Structure 1
Amino acid sequence: MNVTIVDYNSGNISSVINSFNEVAKDKVKIEVTSDLNKIKSSDKVVLPGQGSFKNCVDALNGVNGLVETLNEFVITNKKPLLGICVGLQMFADLGYEETETKGLGWISGKVSKIDNKNDKFKLPHIGWNEISIIKQSKIFEDIENKSHMYFVHSYEFIPEDKNVITATTDYSSNIVCSVEKENIFGTQFHPEKSDKTGLQIINNFINL
């Protein structure tokens, strides 16, 4: 089996690569590429994202044919994809960071700035926070409720269909931190920076 981490110049993804390699331990081939044919032929895809929503969308669009290839992979062929941080946010129809930007539209919803209650909550939201698992997800196999995950973000994904939400975290309000819709999985937190619990989530995705 091979898992492709999409490298589309969206910031430093070395910790994502290292974590997947650590979990894969030669059982699974991990590729890091933006080569469309390699993405098409892979069994699973990981879509990382760091920085702003607009920058990540622009970077995806900057690789000729990449968005079409991802659409085919996810929507037409229904193969598993994991979005991490802005990778998850780009599932939305629209993002409002910097300027209104069109997302991939895989899960209807929008990405808005976290309401920091007049500076009562620091933005970006950085560090460890407890997650509440509200719906069992395939990537939460052997993950305890109230586990702590590592976050770095100022914007949150607000899906229209609340049934896709699998976990939330409490930071000024209940923020969506994990979604699952058929073959599409996403985490707002960084599993690759969330110690053993995060590695278990990566393992669960690889073993889907």
Structure 2
Amino acid sequence: MTHPAAPSASGELTEGLTGVAGWAVGLMESLGGPGAALVVGLDNLFPPLPSELVLPLAGFAAGRGVFGFGAAVFWTTLGSVAGAVVVYLLGRRLGHERTRRLVSRLPLVRAADFDRTAAWFARHGGKAVFLGRLVPVFRSFVSVPAGVERMPFGRFLLFTTAGSLIWNTGLVGAGYLLGGHWPRVERYAAFFQYAVFAGIAVAAAVFVVRRVRARRRV
């Protein structure tokens, strides 16, 4: 598929785009690759700015000549990793014992629940980080337990980079190929995101029902 040449006038890319989409593409147009890294990095720190929207936009901008496809993947992956590292460091700062105390104060949650989760993460942390970077919602939060449980930084960086590279290449590539039809990527990704939310809701409901029943038996 061929793409139009780079826009001749500043702001042409943002024509017809409003809200977050217009802001994101405008930043990429102004700053180039570093702008893409900044926008994608904010996905980790501010989940309401979803990568499912931003990455296809980066591909769209690459297709219009703001930067090359390889540069788009590089900068967005750099932004993803940088944002994940910030969240990891915040989790590391919080620490295991402080997190355990905070979690145990939640309604219907016991310290033993946190202990089981921490033990599971200790066994499967690498896979959890890698696969978590490929799942909406979880990709923004999986760095927290990695930091809390003090996963070795080099290992965290390796799995985070690998997962982010796969996720970013797929969505940037889709936006690049679809060009002006990039919103299709967001719509399809949204279905996946809704499925994840539904799964979380079902799991939470099952957990609450079981915990309430257990308390009634006591």
TM more than 0.5: no
Which structure shows the higher helix fraction?
2
Which structure shows the higher strand fraction?
1
Structure possessing the higher radius of gyration over alpha carbons: 2
TM, length-normalised to structure 2: 0.24
TM, length-normalised to structure 1: 0.25
Query: Higher RCO, 1 or 2 (CA under 8 Å, sep at least 6)?
Result: 2
